[in-house]
Amino acid sequence: MLLTAGQQPNLLSNYYDRIIGDNIQKNADEDFLDRFSIASDCVQYYITVPPVIRNIPIIRRYTKYLHNNLMWTRNYACNLVKERRKEIKNLGIGEKSASNVLNILLPSNGIPNENDKISLTDEEIGDNIVEMFSEGIDSPSNTLAFIIHCVGANPDVERSIIQEIKNVFGDLTDLVITYEDLNKLVYIEAVIKEVLRLRPATLTISRFSAHRDQFDGYEIPSSTQIAINVVGLHRNQNYWNEPENFNPSRFLEDNIGKNYNKNAFMYFGGGLRVCPAKQFAMVQLKMMVVLLYSKYTFEVTTKDPSTNYNVNLQCKELMTRIKHRR
């Protein structure tokens, strides 16, 4: 939320207050994030349940509940855009706004592009913020949980992570992270990719055929929805050596092309509609890995985490023992 809109809700204190049973009143920011906990359910619902079923009287109430949730988040984001526009307008001479996605998007609003068209409306910027919150909360948090699980089950990988952090950042007692340093974390990026191969954030990718076609002897009519089984693709032995094994080294530069086919790795989709936040998500995950493993060690106490299969693969429960690194 801080990187996207420049706001930092007190979610940690709110979380502990809930654990100890304090009766607290959620603020708007916390309510906004809580509503995204059902975002995956909402997407899954609209993808799989046809309109005729959604409007059956006994189901209509749930449909309305999901719709109202979406409208709330959209209205919240639009109001955030309007408030931020006023803040930027009131900046003094020489003052600069904070660096976050919302402030970057705002200057494009109202500025004609080369075709003399307005770039983005307030509503479009708000929709972009909603999308970033939706995918930027659920997917990275689940992927981080799976990273902790996979690394915890492979101590040699954890040692390599710590060594790379020391090589790049030096003294870990006064850690300063820059974008340039994150780009040097080759092994950590390989670990993240291997986790995303085994535990992809997106289980399926759907596309519609633009015209009549044929594939592997099958006739595909025009406008047919085609789904790619990402999990099956990522664990297919025709494309991967020992696909069930956790092996980050397969993604190191010396092994690319030997241990896997780039087209068989679709952790953020592919083609023209690849996830636009692909690079942002990788930076976010690298930063979280550095911050966590520079200070703590994680001992996994369960063989496999409890998962839930929805639009995204969700880690429902992961039992770990956290120790401060000496």
The DSSP symbol for 276 reads T
**Burial degree of 115 (CB within 10 A; 0-12, 13-18, 19+):** exposed
Same domain, residue pair 169 and 300: yes
The DSSP symbol for 95 reads -
Give pLDDT tens digits for 252-296. Answer: 877 665 666 778 898 888 777 777 778 888 998 999 999 999 999
Same domain, residue pair 220 and 86: no
Q: How confident is the model at residue 198 (pLDDT cuts 50, 70, 90)?
A: very high
Residue type, 252: L
Asked if pLDDT for residue 13 goes beyond 50, the answer is: no
- C-alpha distances out from residue 226 to 7, 110, 129, 207, 222, Å: 39, 38, 28, 5, 11
Residue 189 counted as domain residue: yes
Rounded to whole angstroms, how far apart are CA atoms 30 and 102? 18
Same domain, residue pair 166 and 304: yes
Same domain, residue pair 194 and 284: yes
Same domain, residue pair 316 and 284: yes
Name residue, tokens 């979380």. Answer: 15
Average pLDDT over residues 93-110: 67
Same domain, residue pair 226 and 111: no
Residue 126 counted as domain residue: no
**What is this structure's pTM?**
0.77
| Range among 49-53, 70-74, 136-140 with highest mean pLDDT value | 49-53
Same domain, residue pair 188 and 311: yes
Query: Per the annotation, where are the binding residues for heme?
Result: 275
Query: Structural domain of residue 285, as residue ranges?
Result: 142-326
Same domain, residue pair 213 and 85: no
Split into its structural domains, the chain has a count of 2
Give pLDDT tens digits for 127-163. Answer: 777 777 766 667 888 899 999 999 999 999 999 999 9
Query: Per the annotation, where are the binding residues?
Result: 275
Specify the pLDDT at position 94. 67
Specify the pLDDT at position 20. 44
Judged by DSSP in three states, 274 sits in coil
Q: How confident is the model at residue 188 (pLDDT cuts 50, 70, 90)?
A: very high
Same domain, residue pair 147 and 60: no
Same domain, residue pair 109 and 166: no
Residue 135 counted as domain residue: no
Same domain, residue pair 188 and 247: yes
Rounded to whole angstroms, how far apart are CA atoms 281 and 144? 11
Residue type, 124: E
